[in-house]
Amino acid sequence: MTASGKADLVIVANRLPVDRVDNPDGTPGWRRSPGGLVSALEPVLRANDGAWIGWPGGTEDDLEPFVEDGMSLVPVHLTAQEIEEFYEGFSNGTLWPLYHDVVAKPEFHREWWDAYVTVNERFAAKAAEVAAKDATVWVHDYQLQLVPQLLRELRPDLRIGFYLHIPFPPGELFQQLPWRRQILEGLLGADVVGFQLAGGAQNFIRLVRQRVGHKTHRDLVYLPDERTVRAAAYPISIDASGFEELARSKAVGERAAEIRRALGNPSKLFLGVDRLDYTKGILARLRAYSELIADGELDVEDAVFVQVATPSRERVEQYIVIREEIEQLVGRVNGDLGRIGRPAISYLHSSYPREEMAALYRAADIMVVTPYRDGMNLVAKEYIACRYDGDGALVLSEFAGAANELRQAWLVNPYDINGMKQALLDANRSTVKERTKRMKAMRKTVVENDVKAWADSFLQELSRVRESHGKPLRPARGS
């Protein structure tokens, strides 16, 4: 941030890019969150005297802005009731299922909406306070869809971008939302609204035309105040070189070999890595695999399925239910089909550091990514980045955003159990030549379109849209 305490680039996200940890001496501290978004935006923040606004987690209300790992961080406080109603309620009980094709039934509660408005107003006020004159503000994701318009009302001088990391639904689903117009108008406060896929941008444009009444043409919305809003696709990616460097390290290679030994050196190791979420299709995937074991197509002496399910939203009822269902299925399958020292499914309900994930990616022969709906799914790209030897197979849901780019994967409809079983078998029986041809093509896509390219393309578009703001955005050093 500048000497005045203002920032020329402000990132606004639901969470800060750091997590609370206990230091060795027992004092509280911070650790940088894993993930490509932080890696992509940190150098841009540094180059632009930037600040990151977000909720630190928990309910403490006495945190002042602070610097951690070279990033200027500005906390936004949430009360326990707001965590329940804004975060667990409207964000994850209403918007999340609605935007993910109603895999689970969304709930519509007026109290949740009121909390959503209140928290969005708080984030917008903080951004208005922190942003320098003519600054660029980049707002992220479904929890903060009202912030662009609220911020524009407070600070019309700002250049504002918004990026939605999850799918944006078709009108038939979105129109169920009682507050549909308010959400659309909130997003129209941005100069650029970014989506994972072109279909999401088209859904948004169509809804704005039908529900708000603005004139549109292709990816542009024309507002009465002569401002235009661009809605387009900017598919997010990963730090591909960082993952490959990690995968090539001696420590990760040794850990990958250790993982295979611990599993009894199977001929084939299948791997699933997901947040524990009902949209991820974990239950159907494990059912398909277990049927292959029961049918005799696979044998527990030769194959094992490792499923990592990272804990997520554990106080939300739907998440409690899906966890119980998965654990019951794993127990039943291992009881019926496993042998001593040879479980059919090795299930891990835990989160792991990036190094351990890279080792799992290196150890796995077949990566299985089968969500019912996903904005992108970066796990698929992480696996590809770690397969520097060109081997390995990816079984991928047609309904993950990544399928739009990774056409060489074994693509499946996750609702079709028989089709999924066949894809698992096809990947398992593929030749080295076929796997290498597919992997080489996918690796080229992931390496050329990494997370830095994603951030640069969005911010460059934002700089072009409103050049009259004057202050150009500076790229990160080396770009």
Annotated catalytic residue 214 = no
Annotated catalytic residue 25 = no
Q: What is the DSSP letter of 166?
A: S
Q: CA-CA distance, 250 to 174, in Å (whole number)?
A: 49
- Compute the CA torsion angle 75, 81, 87, 88 (nearest 10 deg): 150
Which residue is it, tokens 């693509």?
A: 411
Q: Are the beta carbons of 12 and 147 closer than 8 angstroms?
A: yes
Q: How many CA atoms lie within 13 A of 124 on its CB side?
A: 28
Query: Of the residues 165, 349, 426, 456, which is catalytic?
Result: 165
Identify which of 417, 460, 407 has the alpha carbon closest to the alpha carbon of residue 438.
Answer: 407
Given CA atoms 461, 464, 469, 472 in this order, what sign does their dihedral have? positive
- On the 0-12 / 13-18 / 19+ scale of CB atoms within 10 A, 242 is middle
Q: What is the DSSP letter of 474?
A: P
Residue 93 region by backbone torsions, left for phi larger than 0, else alpha for psi between -120 and 50, else beta: alpha
For residue 351, what are the contacts with CB-CB under 8 A and spacing of at least 6? 310, 311
Q: CA-CA distance, 169 to 312, in Å (whole number)?
A: 23
- Compute the CA torsion angle 93, 94, 99, 105 (nearest 10 deg): 70
Q: How many residues does the chain have?
A: 479
Query: Of the residues 141, 219, 274, 374, which is catalytic?
Result: 374
Calculate helix-pair angle for 317-337, 282-294, nearest 10 degrees: 10
For residue 119, what are the contacts with CB-CB under 8 A and spacing of at least 6? 76, 78, 82, 86, 143
Identify which of 141, 137, 210 has the alpha carbon closest to the alpha carbon of residue 171.
Answer: 210
**Mind telling me the catalytic residues?**
165, 374
